[in-house]
Amino acid sequence: MTEKFAFYLKDNDFEIGFSNRYFDFEKFFSGKKFSILKQIHSDIVHRVETPFSDKEGDGLISDKKELYLIIKTADCYPVIFYNKKGGFIGAVHAGWRGTYKNIIKSFKEKALEYASLKTVLNDTEVIVGPGICGNCYEVKDDVVKLFKEAGFEDNIFKEEKGKIFLDVRKAINFTLAKEGFLPENIKNINLCTFEDPTLYSYRKDKTKKRLYNFIKKINNKKILD
């Protein structure tokens, strides 16, 4: 099982997976309930009550059990959220566009429908999955301009031999901190989709194939505060 994942975790409460290229979508999700999006690099986050696969957007949030929330990636970053006290789980697709448009903030606002601000910020664990790293992701001036206008720190960029590189992971972590998520609750899976041959990279291969990143809630346990 674990050889099909860059990261996999299952405990009494949650099942979380970040797949690699050996993962078989049909086989794994056959007979299981899930929601998956038509991803459009937006800041749209959907509440999930029942399975669907027809909606446009880039974030999912739910408090239902036995229902997988799935995000597809190939260089963009999957961000998984789980909150034991509020009982919600979430999955977000954050490339440079979603990050710059602040899908993390949209997710936080949606999470307030499930729990108080204190619970959302203090008790939400976050995992930022594999994506293209700051040494590999070359961008142009227009992208730099957009991020600077949106108030991001200069250190998300690096200049080398006249080229500019963007560290989307750093930008996501900057946003998570800015929105109030606690650094000790944030875990980064520091794998680069461009460099790691077991992962898919759109920038490298122009591939249509995608990595599947998901979370499922197992228990309906909700700790009240």
Residues lying near Zn ion in the complex (CB under 5 A) are found at: 133, 135-136, 192, 194-195
* Closer Cβ to Zn ion, 135 or 219, answer by number: 135
Least gap, CB of 158 to Zn ion (angstroms) = 12
Least gap, CB of 191 to Zn ion (angstroms) = 9
Pairing of strands 186-188, 124-128: parallel
Selection from 89, 70, 80 nearest residue 28 by Cα:
70
* Closer Cβ to Zn ion, 157 or 194, answer by number: 194
Query: 92 near 110, Cβ under 8 Å?
Result: no
Least gap, CB of 160 to Zn ion (angstroms) = 13
Query: 164 near 144, Cβ under 8 Å?
Result: yes
Burial class (CB in 10 A: 0-12, 13-18, 19+), 169: buried
DSSP-assigned letter for residue 102 = T
Residue type for position 112: L
Least gap, CB of 184 to Zn ion (angstroms) = 26
* Closer Cβ to Zn ion, 133 or 176, answer by number: 133
Answer positive or negative: Cα dihedral of 44, 174, 81, 134: positive
Cα 189 versus chain centre, distance: 11
* Closer Cβ to Zn ion, 63 or 167, answer by number: 167
Least gap, CB of 8 to Zn ion (angstroms) = 22
Q: Assign residue 72 a region (left: φ > 0; alpha: ψ between -120 and 50; beta: otherwise).
A: beta
* Closer Cβ to Zn ion, 56 or 195, answer by number: 195
Least gap, CB of 192 to Zn ion (angstroms) = 3
Helices assigned H by DSSP within 95-134: 96-100, 103-111, 117-122
* Closer Cβ to Zn ion, 71 or 136, answer by number: 136
